Structure 1
Amino acid sequence: MRFPLPLKFFLFAALVAVVPLALVGENLVRIARDELKSAVNEDLTGVAAQVRSEFDSMYQGRWLAPLMVIRSGVDNPDLDVAQKVSLLTQGMEQLEGVVALQLSVEGSDIPMVVSDQTFGEALAAEGLDPVTTLAASPELIANIKGTGQFGRPLISQIRETGDWVATLALPMESKIAGRELTLAARINLGALRRTVSRHPFNQRGEITIVDHAGRTALVDDPEVMNQRAIVASAMPLIVAGARADALQTYRRPDGTDMLGAYAFPEWFPWAVITELSEESAYAVIAEMMRRIVMVGALGFAAASAAALIFSKGLTGPILKIGRVADAIGEGDYSARVDRVKSRDEIGDLAARVNTMAGQLSERMELMKFVSHETVSAIQARDGAGIKRGGERREVTMLFSDIRGYTAFSETVTPEEVIEVLNRYFEIQSAIVVRHGGDIDKFVGDELMAMFVGEDKEDRAVRCGVEIKEALAESFGAQTGRELAVGIGIASGAVVIGAMGARERMDYTVLGSTVNLAARLCSKAGPWEVLVDRATTDLVDEGVALDARPAVDLKGYADPVPVYRASFSEEETLAV
């Protein structure tokens, strides 16, 4: 009874539940990501709006409104100077964060300043004069008046202490000697700084305060952050005085993917930026993915263990077939698939591979008896069968013939004749192949080779000279017999194709060029390479071509010019 291979794969796939789990997990992750992104966006915008509201509420409720009350008291005409100074002192003590109050008289360079003692001592410890540092200069008061910024804070940082302070100026109705009075306050913004640094959001994200130039505020060491996309987006809105909150996704210069939002306080020229990395924002999804992978891994392990029972009988024969295919690919056509008894498609495949290996072995043996041109012609037909006929091509033909062969063959046994011929042809064949030639056939003691393509003339001549040199070195003084080689080379047009009967053809070359090369070979003396005129014109440097007396050849009315080829001295040394 056959057990079909598809059924085996079906049983194996049924045990593997990883794919359905992966599909379900992917959908769950996508849905969770969408929901989580919405929640994260609300969180970012909510935190930015909350910090903005706290800034505005703190400024307006803690500082601006009480200072306006103090201004009204100082404006009271029923109070004398001492009472007004007392009001300033008591008011500063009651207002958290106010470190200096002063009355400035228009046109006077000497303001009346009341400062916080503790803050003043901190400034003195850094080598600063508290009065000079905390006093609002007449120029600053004039600038505030000229720009209509009464009630609006002007922000600056005391570099030596790192404190951020705001200068607030309010105009007064009362006058001294007809001169206008201005109430100015210096406010320590440490409360705003603590609001940012202590916010719970900092445990998973970042809250950054930036000004119109992209510089960070309320920090010890301000730095320019305009390389961040969200900061660059907020900067023009600060300058324009816009108050539209926004949400943005972007990538930091270091490659971190971020989610961010910003909001703008009403009373400060800043943007409150909240940022959260996508890695932190989607940490829940990462944990979900980890659990899905863990469950998938357990399922895969269970499926693999179960599939092992089936795979042993399934993969064993396949591996054997694979090893045989590799051996055939490496040229071992004797390899066979054995001990495969599967009564299914695998068993059929093993039998077919064995049949294929036998047929390939036969074909490879047959290929040794035909030329490469014959094989190429058969392959070009793509299985349609080769037809009789030929085509005209430009080639260079080389004929090589052993001198003294007839006398030699009559004095030794046939076995020794075959052995010597094979040694001769082995050396010649290797040289022909190395120079890109194709051996058309062996006829008795004669070798016939063809060269086509670029530099065919040069390659053929070099091949002939190298054959002469190699055979002279290997056989000239070792055989004890008078065996030499003569070589003829000619170039021109030939006809290449299949010729003969329908059931028995030969793929060869014909034409006057073939005849000329064969006759030059017969005219060549022992260890001599004769070349026709058409070939010598295209031979490169390194080969010496000596003109010989023209020779009479059968079929030619006039003597044919010939040249004897040999390596120059430099080329001989290189070889």
Structure 2
Amino acid sequence: MRFPLPLKFFLFAALIAVVPLALVGNNLVQIAREELKSAVNEDLTGVAGQLRSEFDSLYQGRWLAPLMVIRSGVDNPELDVALKVALLTEGMAQLPDVVSLQLSVEGSDIPVLVSNEDFAAQLAEVGLDPVQTLSISNELLANIEDTGQFGRPLISQLSETGDWLATLALPLESTIAGRKLTLGARINLSMLQRSVLRHPFTARGEITIVDHAGRAVLVEAPEVLADRAIVASAMPLIVAGARADALEAYARPDGTAMLGAYAFPDWFPFAVIAELSEETAYAVVTQMMQRILIVGSLGFAAASVGALIFSRRLTRPILKIGRVADAVGEGDFSQRVEGVRSRDEIGDLAGRINVMAGQLGERLELMKFVSHETVSAIQNRDGDRMQRGGERREVTMLFSDIRGYTAFSETVSPEEVIDVLNRYFEIQSEIVERHGGDIDKFVGDELMAMFVGEDKEDRAVRCGVEIKEALAASFGAQSARELAVGVGIASGDVVLGAMGARDRMDYTVLGSTVNLAARLCAKAGPWQVLVDRDTSDLVDEGVILQDLPAVRLKGYAAPVTVFAAQKEASPSPSNALSSS
């Protein structure tokens, strides 16, 4: 997958701009979160503990203590029933939260009941009998006595009015006709409700009062909240009468992350639960993160713009260098990197690319003047320099020479001579390349080629025959110039290697096989291909080898056996018909 340089700069700038800020911001957020969590925990436990103390103070100081005083007065044996009732009425007037006082005689179903007139009127308005609603039954009093709950409130709600009432009973020491007396009271808990609703904490959090069943109390519409983790934790403690305050983090059923604390009043079977969502608790952290994001975004935008501008200025010359490199790779060495004036490594690279392109062009031109074997030898050399010397190789040598060249060159201009030679050599070079040969050199009007590897003899002979046929087809009709070609081919061992002076060498072949091929080429007549014995023995079908009389060659004591190679004629339709 390609990863462009501008994108790399963009990502680098983004990392430089964002990562340090993100790391610092993350540390600040963590520190602030821990500090806020500690503060929130203290706040939650403080709210729950404060309301617990307020509930206990209200009950014990505002209601229970005055009722104990009233009980003491009523319990005075010197007071008759009329005075006791008067004391209850006076006490009722002094305790606005107490909606009824009742003096019950053991075994009597008709208690002495004094009620708050305003509250009784409210009950009557909703169709309730004040006496029946506010009176405490003997069964309930007996149950309170049996469970030892004297002085402890029993909480209930009047569904018709929504009021929450606390019922409590206090035993008297005096008796009437030997029967026990019990002072009962109904207390309106609206003051507790107001304490919860008006608490400053409700502006950002929630305060919930729950009973042992997980039901919300002191509210108009009670609901069971046992599915909340903190309520479920508090419920068994209410039942057990434990008073261990606690703090915990949890998630509500709807997924809202919460922090909560609970406390237990001494005089009520309740748990006071203070809750705050983490979103609200960590609002400062959220604001901090938002500001960090804003600053980071601005930094990222500035860094991105800078990175794009910088990368554009940086990548533009690199792209130019890339285009020139592609052109050079495709063989166009005339291309140069232009317009790069930066005085840095990129400018140096552009200059080096230009120098390289020039040198490669020169080297390519130089390679046209040497053989493939020379190039391979240079590429496979041991060390930094070519070493003089050679190795014995088995090859087939081919020499091609133009007949009538000397006379032709004396009758035309040098430019025309070169043009004709180039055309001759162009045709011959293509044929040699096609047959897997390697042109060693051009000497005047003579071509010297070498064939190595499998079927070298067959390929060389076919190449010589095709050279003769091609040149005859191209130049044979130009009789006015009287130009022809002669080819000599020989096979055998040669010495192949670098020869010459230390600073001026030639990579070529030497040996009797080379000399034999050259002598055969010189002996060949116009449009004739001469082949030695070693080569003729390995020529396959498709070429006719005509056995010629042995010839004497310069430098050879004995006559040399030669063969004339020519293309095998295709059978004519009449011959094919007669043969069938």
Which TM-score band applies after superposition, normalised by the shorter structure? 0.5 to 0.7
Contact kept in structure 2, 1:211 and 1:271, CA below 8 Å: yes
Match of 1:26 in 2: 26
Match of residue 426 from structure 1: none
Task: Give the Cα separation in 1 of the matches to 2:149 and 2:323.
Answer: 89
CA positional deviation for 1:298: 2.0
The residue type paired with residue 63 of structure 1 is: W
> In 1, Cα distance between the equivalents of 2:323 and 2:178?
111
Q: What is the aligned partner in structure 2 of residue 217 from structure 1?
A: 217
Give the 3 Å change call, closer, same or farther, for CA 44–320 of structure 1 in structure 2.
farther
**Match of residue 95 from structure 2:** 95
Cα pair distance change 1:83/1:299, threshold 3 Å: same
Partner deviation per Cα, 1:369-391 (whole Å, 9 max, x = no partner): xxxxxxxxxxxxxxxxxxxxxxx
- Deviation of 1:77 after TM superposition, in Å, equals 1.5
Determine the structure 2 residue equivalent to 1:301.
301
Distance 2:315 2:210 in 1: 66
CA shift digits 1:96-118 (9 cap, x unpaired): 31000000000011111000010
Q: Please tell me whether the aligned partners of residues 10 and 307 of structure 2 are also in contact (alpha carbons under 8 angstroms).
A: no
**Amino acid aligned to 1:280:** T
| Contact persistence 2:101–2:114 (CA under 8 A) | yes
Structure 1 contact 210–216 (Cα < 8 Å) conserved: yes
Q: CA deviation at 1:160?
A: 0.3
Query: Greater shift after overlay, 89-98 or 289-298?
Result: 289-298
In 1, the alpha carbon distance for the partners of 2:323 and 2:107 equals 104
Mapping of residues 112-511 of structure 1, within 5 Å: 112-316=112-316
Change in Cα spacing, 1:40 to 1:144, as seen in structure 2 (3 Å) is same
Match of 1:387 in 2: none
Q: Distance in 2 between matches of 1:322 and 1:277?
A: 59
Change (3 A) 1:10 1:209: closer
Q: Is the 8 A contact 2:123 2:129 kept in 1?
A: yes
8 A contact 2:13–2:300 mirrored in 1 = no
Give the C-alpha shift of residue 187 in structure 1.
0.3
For 1:321 and 1:274, the matched residues in 2 are separated by: 70
Q: For residues 131 and 111 of structure 1, what CA distance do their matches in structure 2 show?
A: 10
Report if the CA contact (8 A) 2:205-2:277 is conserved: yes
- Runs of 4+ deviating beyond 6 Å: 317-324, 337-343, 345-348
CA contact (8 A) 1:123 1:129 kept: yes
What is the distance in 1 between the residues matched to 2:322 and 2:281?
A: 50
Change (3 A) 1:18 1:134: same
Asked if the contact 1:16–1:299 (Cα under 8 Å) also holds between the matched residues in 2, the reply is no
Partner of residue 43, structure 2:
43
- Counterparts of 1:340 and 1:11 in 2: how far apart (Å)? 29
Q: Give per-residue Cα distances to partners, 1:171-202, cap 9 Å, x unaligned.
A: 00110110000000000000001101110000
Give the counterpart letter for 1:115 in structure 2.
S
The number of equivalent residue pairs is 341
Matched, 1:74 2:69: no
Q: Equivalents in 1 of 2:161, 2:22: separation in Å? A: 58
SS in 1 for 2:216: coil
- How large is the RMSD of aligned CA atoms in angstroms? 3.6
Native 8 Å contact 2:172 2:183 kept in 1: yes
Q: Cα gap change, 1:124/1:29 in structure 2, threshold over 3 Å: closer, same or farther?
A: same
1:311: Cα distance to partner? 1.8
User: Using the alignment, how far apart are the partners of 1:165 and 1:64 within structure 2?
Assistant: 14
SS in 2 for 1:66: helix
Measure, in 1, the Cα distance between the counterparts of 2:274 and 2:11: 54
Query: Normalized against structure 1, the TM-score is what?
Result: 0.55
The one-character-per-residue Cα deviations of 1:321-353 (angstroms, maximum 9, x if unpaired) are 9999xxxxxxxx99xx997977867979xx9xx
Measured against aligned partners, the alpha-carbon deviations of 1:356-401 in whole angstroms (never above 9, x if no partner) come to: xxxxxxxxxxxxxxxxxxxxxxxxxxxxxxxxxxxxxxxxxxxxxx
Bigger Cα Rg: 2
Amino acid at match of 1:253: P
Pairwise CA distance, 1:292: 1.2
Specify the code of the residue in structure 2 equivalent to 1:242.
A
Q: Is the 8 A contact 1:70 1:87 kept in 2?
A: yes
- Aligned partners of 1:11 and 1:148: how far apart in 2? 76
**Aligned-partner Cα distance in 2 for 1:152–1:338:** 102
Q: Tell me the residue number matched to 1:60.
A: 60
Deviation at 1:299?
Answer: 1.9
C-alpha displacement of 1:318: 7.5
**1:41-62 deviations in whole A, cap 9, x for unaligned?**
0000000000000000000000
Partner amino acid for 1:116? N
Q: Distance in 1 between matches of 2:229 and 2:37?
A: 19
Q: How does 1:99-110 map to 2 (within 5 A)?
A: 99-110=99-110
User: Residue 217 of structure 2: SS of its match in structure 1?
Assistant: coil
Q: Distance in 1 between matches of 2:14 and 2:161?
A: 72
CA contact (8 A) 2:317 2:346 kept: no
The SS at the match of 2:284 is: helix
Measure the CA separation in 1 of the matches of 2:109 and 2:323. 102
1:95 Cα deviation after fit? 1.0
Instruction: Tell me which residue corresponds to 1:397.
Output: none
Aligned mates of 2:159, 2:234 — CA distance in 1: 26
Distance 1:29 1:302 in 2: 24
CA separation in 2, counterparts of 1:318 and 1:39? 58
Q: Deviations over 1:492-511 (max 9, x none)?
A: xxxxxxxxxxxxxxxxxxxx
When residues 15 and 262 of structure 1 are mapped into structure 2, their CA distance, relative to the original with a 3 A threshold, is closer
1:56-96 deviation per Cα after TM superposition (whole angstroms, max 9, x unaligned): 00000001110000000001112221111111011011013
The one-letter code sitting in structure 1 at the alignment partner of 2:142 is A
Is the 8 Å Cα contact of residues 101 and 183 (structure 2) preserved in structure 1?
yes
Q: Deviations over 1:507-529 (max 9, x none)?
A: xxxxxxxxxxxxxxxxxxxxxxx
Structure 2 match to 1:561: none
CA spacing shift, 1:318–1:223, aligned 2, 3 Å: farther
Tell me which amino acid in the other structure corresponds to 2:255: G
- Letter of the 2:244 counterpart: A
Distance in 1 of aligned mates of 2:266 and 2:224: 22
- Give 1:35 deviation, angstroms: 0.7
Question: Compared with structure 1, are the counterparts of its residues 18 and 150 closer, same or farther at alpha carbon in structure 2 (3 Å cutoff)?
Answer: same
Alignment partners' CA distance in 2, 1:47 and 1:127: 39
Check 1:98–1:338 CA distance in 2 against 1; reply closer, same or farther (3 A cut): farther
